[in-house]
Amino acid sequence: MRVLVTGHAGFIGSHVVAALREHGHEPVGYDVREDPAADVRDPAAVAKALTGVDAVCHQAAMVGLGNGFADAAEYVSRNDLGTAVLLAAMAETGVERLVLAGSMVVYGEGRYECARHGVVRPGPRAVADLDAGRFEPPCPVCGAALSPGLVGEDAPTDPRNVYATTKLAQEHLAAAWARSAGATAVSLRYHNVYGPGMPRDTPYAGVASFFRSALARGEAPRVFEDGRQRRDFVHVRDVAAANVAALTADRPYGTLTAYNAGSG
């Protein structure tokens, strides 16, 4: 299979390329970091890159927490406009298989359950609670303590910053394309990816590298709040393997399917 990999020069994209080669596929790289003309927002450049391609693995994106709104237009341009241009070109050229780099940030908060009220969705934590050392969110109905759990793909989406919103919009665009073009799409909702080549300033798995560096210096890792935060860390090679599996598996056409890509 000949696969266009957008963002192939990035941390995850480079491992996807290696995994595709290991499985006998032919990856075609497309990354503005190596070629300024390789912009997913350029319809002519994207159409040219799709020539002879059987599938697309869309890794290119502007990443980050996106806490404020100053960069909102840039996030939407790179992530959503770029995805729309790519999908339009795929529809025009007849490329019918897509794997999208999704993100667990589309869920917002994790899963919480109250003994009285079942599964609930707590709102933002109050500053007064944080100042008092109450770091766990209470039940929004009765204020009781909650039990955290695993987030399944059927959990409601609730993006809480600009970046998260653009990642969910990418999924909606891909779903609309799949229905319109009779194509098939998978969104792999990455959890915190770590491994060789991980950027030092990544907002996702940075804690792993920070802890390792501190231990190597003989220092105690710096822990915030009460240290009971839980995050799912998944190795980048497992994420790359998930991309290959999603590209090659038999899937229904006309739909988008989302999978969590984490360690569990």
Contact 74, 162 (CB under 8 A): no
Q: How many CB atoms lie within 10 A of CB 239?
A: 24
pLDDT for res 107: 94
Indicate whether 203 pLDDT > 60: no
Structural domain range at position 137: 111-149
203-229 average pLDDT score: 83
pLDDT tens digits along 44-66:
999 999 999 999 999 999 987 65
> What confidence category does residue 213 fall into, taking pLDDT thresholds of 50, 70 and 90?
confident
Indicate whether 223 pLDDT > 70: yes
- Please indicate, yes or no, whether residues 124 and 24 belong to a single structural domain of this protein: no
| pLDDT-wise least confident of 88-102, 191-205, 214-228 | 191-205
Of 250, 103, 129, nearest to 187 by C-alpha is: 103
Indicate whether 205 pLDDT > 70: no
Last residue of a domain, one of 122, 149, 176: 149
Q: Is residue 202 part of a domain?
A: no
Q: Is residue 224 part of a domain?
A: no
Runs of H (alpha helix) within the chain: 11-22, 43-49, 72-75, 82-93, 127-131, 162-181, 206-216, 236-248
- Please indicate, yes or no, whether residues 13 and 92 belong to a single structural domain of this protein: yes
Q: Is residue 206 part of a domain?
A: no
pLDDT tens digits along 131-185:
999 999 999 999 999 999 999 999 999 998 999 999 999 999 999 999 999 999 9
Q: Tell me which amino acid residue 212 is.
A: R
Q: Is residue 22 part of a domain?
A: yes
- Please indicate, yes or no, whether residues 182 and 156 belong to a single structural domain of this protein: yes
pLDDT tens digits along 114-123:
999 999 999 8
